Structure 1
Amino acid sequence: MTESPGLRERKKRRTRQALIEAAVRLFERKGFEHVTVAEIAEAAEVSTRTFFLHFQTKEDVLFANADVRIDLALQAVAERRAEERFPEVLVRAMEQMIANSWDSDLTSGLAALRVRLAESAPVLQARLSQLYVTAQTELARALHQAYPDELDPIAAAALVGAMVGAVSAATLASLRRGDSPEGVRNAMRQAVDLVVCCHHRAN
């Protein structure tokens, strides 16, 4: 009997999550550099080929939800209401990411592990930097295109850079302090509020 699309999608999500959980356990125990893709696949009880259907490299497992966060932010800009000003849209974009895409990273320990491993693994540091640049570039472009009469490319890039940079820095500090998932989310929201406050003062 042929599986329904819904069943296939649920199995795909379960396999992906199993790979993430297996990688987290192995990275915690052996360190990032000493774990192979084959070991992750074996621990998740799937083939190496199946691993590569979900992730291109083992570092991709640590950043499994990064694209989701960017997509949520871009969606918030695309779905802006006619009366919304750009600061409100940017805040809503950040809130979408905080509320809807960080939960599994925080509760699984993936976010905290990512921070610890990045401190000693240059390849992960480079990947983090790449993701931040990509997120800022795409969101700044979307915000400028949404408000071309109010934000030129430089202003949009500066505003998004301030917001993403503040949230990222607060997240890292909170994770390094060992805060609970809710504590990390509160730190993110505090960073958003601080940037908004500074923006209002400047204007």
Structure 2
Amino acid sequence: MAEGLGRRERKKQQTRRTLIETAARLFNERGYDATGVADVAEAADVTKRTFFLHFPTKEDVLLSDGPARVELALRVIDERAPQAPPREVLAEAIHAMIADTASRELPNGMAALRARLMVDSPAVQARVLRAVFTAQARIAEALRAAYPETLDRATAASVVGAAVGAVCAAAMASLQDGDAPEATSEAMRQAAAIALHAFDALGEESR
């Protein structure tokens, strides 16, 4: 039974990946607005119902790896080493998210596509900004809960917002310049290093 469940899960994940890759290809070939859910489902050889089992909306395909990336950051915070300072933990969480982006969405072009659509499509822009805001809020709350004596809600929101915002902005600029994946990854890492200096104003205990 466990083996059967494993096969079903693998098939589910493969279908999801096929939908993502197919959508990315069609968005690039036909344009985002000109490509509907039915087009993606047909090209992926699945039903529209199958598409909606994986993604609530067309915009969600563009953010397909985002939720798992946030969970990765939350896990880093939750599994932090004893006595690890918050700056160090946040840095590890941010770098884990950058590494995940570099391994998934930079090579397949999804990050570049999303960056372009952020400029061209108001619907995509609104959806991405909402996702980023939600991610920042979840990470900030997890960090605050991990260090209640050091960080209050506003401070946690400030430092996480600075780091996530800087990384996203650097990625957007690099992708819009047409940089190679390695250069975009480096731009994100440099942005994180700059933003994490926000912790310096909190005192030695926070570093």
TM score, norm. by length of structure 2:
0.92
| Cα distance in structure 2, aligned partners of 1:44 and 1:138 | 33
| Cα distance in structure 2, aligned partners of 1:82 and 1:125 | 39
- C-alpha displacement of 1:100: 2.6
Does residue 162 of structure 1 match 2:144? no
AA at the equivalent of 1:13:
Q
Residue segments in structure 2 that go unaligned for 5+ positions in a row: none
| Cα distance in structure 2, aligned partners of 1:83 and 1:2 | 39
- C-alpha displacement of 1:171: 0.7
What residue is the counterpart of 2:104 in the other structure?
104
What residue is the counterpart of 2:181 in the other structure?
181
- C-alpha displacement of 1:53: 1.0
- C-alpha displacement of 1:148: 0.6
Describe the superposition over 1:20-56 as per-residue Cα deviations: whole angstroms up to 9, x where unpaired: 1111111112111111111101111111111111111
SS in 2 for 1:32: coil
What residue is the counterpart of 2:119 in the other structure?
119
SS in 2 for 1:106: coil
Describe the superposition over 1:96-119 as per-residue Cα deviations: whole angstroms up to 9, x where unpaired: 111134422111111101111121
| Cα distance in structure 1, aligned partners of 2:103 and 2:2 | 33
What residue is the counterpart of 2:81 in the other structure?
81
SS in 2 for 1:117: helix
| Cα distance in structure 1, aligned partners of 2:194 and 2:91 | 11
TM score, norm. by length of structure 1:
0.94
What residue is the counterpart of 1:15 in the other structure?
15
AA at the equivalent of 1:12:
K
Equivalent residues of 1:68, 1:101 under 8 A apart: no
What residue is the counterpart of 1:146 in the other structure?
146
Larger deviation, residues 164-173 vs 179-188: 179-188
Larger deviation, residues 142-151 vs 176-185: 176-185
Describe the superposition over 1:155-201 as per-residue Cα deviations: whole angstroms up to 9, x where unpaired: 11111111111111111111111112222111111111112345437
Question: Post-superposition, which runs of at least 4 consecutive aligned residues in structure 1 deviate over 3 A?
Answer: 197-203
Residue segments in structure 1 that go unaligned for 5+ positions in a row: none
SS in 1 for 2:83: coil
Provide the aligned length of Structure 1 versus Structure 2.
203
AA at the equivalent of 1:18:
T
- C-alpha displacement of 1:57: 0.9
| Cα distance in structure 2, aligned partners of 1:128 and 1:2 | 37
| Cα distance in structure 2, aligned partners of 1:158 and 1:9 | 39
| Cα distance in structure 2, aligned partners of 1:200 and 1:136 | 20
Does residue 37 of structure 1 match 2:37? yes
Equivalent residues of 1:74, 1:142 under 8 A apart: yes
- C-alpha displacement of 1:6: 1.7
- C-alpha displacement of 1:132: 1.3
How many percent of aligned residue pairs carry the same amino acid?
48
Q: CA RMSD in A?
A: 1.8
